[in-house]
């Protein structure tokens, strides 16, 4: 994952409504949740929800699957794992190891 890809995902999740929606979908698991269920459970107006879902889908955080007349939203667990891995990848390595420089303070 690149810095740009991570920044895009984090920017979309930086909105309170989108973060709430994404967390709800993650809790729903691999079966996801219908748009109607998300709307009812989170009490978000339809047009607003549509906007947020579209932005998350464009960032790759979710995908939407149409089953008959129902649209189901599924979280992208692989991307979520990549994002958390990216954020933790260099944990506790120290600045010198991460940048490849010696710590001479200059």
For residue 29, the SS3 value is helix
Q: How far apart are CA 93 and CA 98, in angstroms?
A: 6
Q: What is the pLDDT of residue 48?
A: 95
**Helix H or strand E segment including 67:** strand 62-67
Joined tokens for residue 65: 């699957």
Q: What is the pLDDT of residue 28?
A: 97
Q: What is the pLDDT of residue 95?
A: 73
Q: What is the pLDDT of residue 104?
A: 53
- Number of domains into which the chain is organized: 1
Residue 105 inside a domain? The answer is no
For residue 10, the SS3 value is helix
Instruction: Strands of the chain (E only): list them.
Output: 33-34, 62-67, 70-75
Residue 40 inside a domain? The answer is yes
pTM reported for the whole predicted model: 0.84
* Contact criterion met (CB below 8 Å) for 30 and 74: yes
Q: Could you tell me the residue range of the domain that residue 40 belongs to? A: 3-84
User: Mean pLDDT for each consecutive 10-residue tract of the chain (106 residues)?
Assistant: 96 97 97 96 95 97 95 97 94 71 51
Say which CATH number the domain at 49 has: 1.10.10.10
């Amino acid at each position: 994952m690149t810095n740009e890809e991570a920044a895009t995902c984090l920017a979309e999740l930086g909105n309170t409504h989108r973060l709430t929606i994404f967390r709800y979908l993650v809790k729903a698991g691999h079966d996801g949740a219908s748009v109607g269920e998300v709307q009812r459970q989170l009490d978000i107006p339809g047009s607003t929800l549509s906007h947020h879902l579209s932005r998350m889908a464009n960032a790759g955080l979710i995908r939407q699957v149409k089953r008959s007349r129902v649209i189901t939203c599924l979280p992208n667990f692989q991307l979520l794992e990549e994002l958390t891995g990216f954020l933790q990848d260099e944990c506790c390595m120290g600045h010198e190891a991460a940048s490849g420089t010696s710590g001479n303070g200059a």
